Chain A
Amino acid sequence: MDDRRRRFEAQVLPYLDDAYRFARWLAGSSEGADDVVQEAMLRAYRGFDALRGSDAKAWLLTIVRNCHWTALKQQQRRAQVPLPEEHDPQDGQALIAAEPDPESALIRQDESRSLEQLVAALPEDYREILILREVEDMDYRGIAAVVNVPLGTVMSRLARARAALRKNWLQQVKGTPRAVR
């Protein structure tokens, strides 16, 4: 085995499971994820020389995300869904306070949904950041690099996604709205 391949297997291959998990959340199905991951690993291997000491996991997940979007565009299987309003990254607070009940707006209220279903129901922009943080255990900087948004946007989207889950799931689990202690 040549040296380049060996280095690839040492530096990038350990993150294959992370790539697969992330692709599954992006693609919403395991079949879609298989293609995305395989394409991503190939692209990663071809472009391996560009890695040069940067964070291999963030780098690989960025490629996974790009492959996902490319596949999606090629298939054109979805009509364009308008993205949630973009906001000033510095202004996460104002965003949360802007609507009387923005958390409910993110997830359609339903009687009892599993946490997994609630996460799946989040708009993609919010879900991918939540997954990168909570499942892939990435730090803000890594997430910002993968999703290609400023740090402040990572923080505000994360806060909104969590506020939605907090409202919809924790209340559901507890049965009553939480009183502030």
Chain B
Amino acid sequence: MPCAESLQVQAYVDGETDAMASAAIEQHLENCAECRALHRDLLELHTALHRELPYAQTPPALRAQIMRALDKESGAAHLPRRTPGIWRLRSYWMGAVSGLVAASAAAALAFVLIAPPITSPLVDELLGAHVNSLMSSHLIDVVSTDKHTVKPWFAGHTDVSPLVADFDAEGYKLLGGRVDYLEHQRAAVVVYQHGLHVINVFSWADSRRSLPAQATRNGYHFACWKAGDLDYCAVSDTAWDELQGLVRLVQGASALEQR
């Protein structure tokens, strides 16, 4: 007879439990060898599935075919075919660009300017990931305030090993970690809480795609930088200086770590 808590353990691994339930399960795990084994196996299985199941992407030909079908559907078929993607995005981003130029002029921070902020679909991707994480109750995959739990978890679930540290004393509490699919890789997300705000710190292997040092989209602030061979981007609806407070802490800590 399996332990009565096994579905709860599964929910915990799936990030479906709130802080209180998570704490109860963590305590149960200490006392129940069976659930400890289940917990370990579920994590192992999750890692193996991510590693071994194909992560297919839409073939370009199919994507193009779908776009044509949509053109036809929206009655745009008779219009001259325009360059897809880039141009649409460009006009879409024009508004953001002017804001970015002003923001980077004002930036007194020693951010590494990764590339001139002309267009950045990546910011769009990051915005989507951030908003999704807030909406979907899938904010955190591994709930822990302990960096020694979060950091090894990333090793099994993501393609990168970012800096993880708790800055509770400075007002940025570590909530846990999450994996998001970004830039065609499994990006690591470290989740912090600052007051009532959630700050997602995304990190992924340097992709050489242009990324603005700072951006604001839909009311969310983005602060991006490079450390070693990783790209980082902190996203939140906090005030700018609060977001940059965390950025400085993370940058400082990773500089120490790399020494």
Contacts and interface: CB of A to CB of B under 8 A. Distances in A.
Interface of A: 1-2, 4-6, 8-10, 14, 16-17, 19-21, 24, 30, 34, 37-38, 41-42, 45-46, 55, 57, 92-93, 96-97, 114-116, 119, 133-135, 137-142, 155-156, 158-159, 162, 165-166, 169-170, 173, 178, 180-181
Interface string B38-68: 0001101110111011111111001101100
Secondary structure at chain B's binding surface: helix, strand, loop or mixed? Answer: helix
13 contacts: A14-B128, A16-B66, A20-B56, A20-B57, A42-B70, A45-B70, A119-B49, A134-B46, A134-B50, A169-B45, A169-B48, A170-B45, A178-B37
B10 interface: yes
A106 to B, nearest CB: 14
Contacts of A115: 48-49, 52-53
B74 interface: yes
B118 interface: no
Given A20-B62, A38-B66, A55-B135, A114 B52 contact: yes
Contacts of B166: none
Contacts of B181: 137
Interface stretch (B1-9, B105-113, B195-203, B224-232): B1-9
Nearest to B52: A115
Contact of B37 (A21, A24, A180): A180
A74 B169 CA distance: 62
Contacts of A141: 137
Contacts of B194: none
A46 to B, nearest CB: 7
Contacts of A5: 70, 74, 76
Nearest to B137: A139
Given A97-B1, A180-B33, A21 B55 contact: yes
Contacts of B69: 38, 41-42
A17 B46 contact: no
A137 to B, nearest CB: 7
Given A139-B16, A140-B14, A93 B70 contact: no
Q: Interface centre among B33, B58, B88, B181, by most A CB within 10 Å?
A: B58
Contact of B44 (A137, A170, A180): A170
Interface of B: 1-2, 4, 6-7, 10-11, 14-16, 33-34, 36-37, 41-42, 44-46, 48-50, 52-59, 62-63, 65-66, 69-70, 73-74, 76, 88, 92, 125, 128, 132, 135-138, 179, 181
Contacts of B6: 93, 96, 159
Nearest to A24: B56
Nearest to A139: B138
Nearest to A158: B10
A122 to B, nearest CB: 12
B7 A159 contact: yes
B138 A162 contact: no
A156 B136 contact: no
A103 B215 CA distance: 50
Contacts of A37: 58, 62, 66
Given A20-B57, A34-B62, A141-B137, A92 B7 contact: yes
Given A97-B1, A141-B137, 17 more contacts: A1-B88, A5-B74, A8-B70, A20-B57, A30-B56, A38-B65, A42-B66, A42-B69, A42-B70, A45-B73, A45-B74, A93-B4, A137-B179, A138-B138, A142-B136, A169-B48, A170-B45
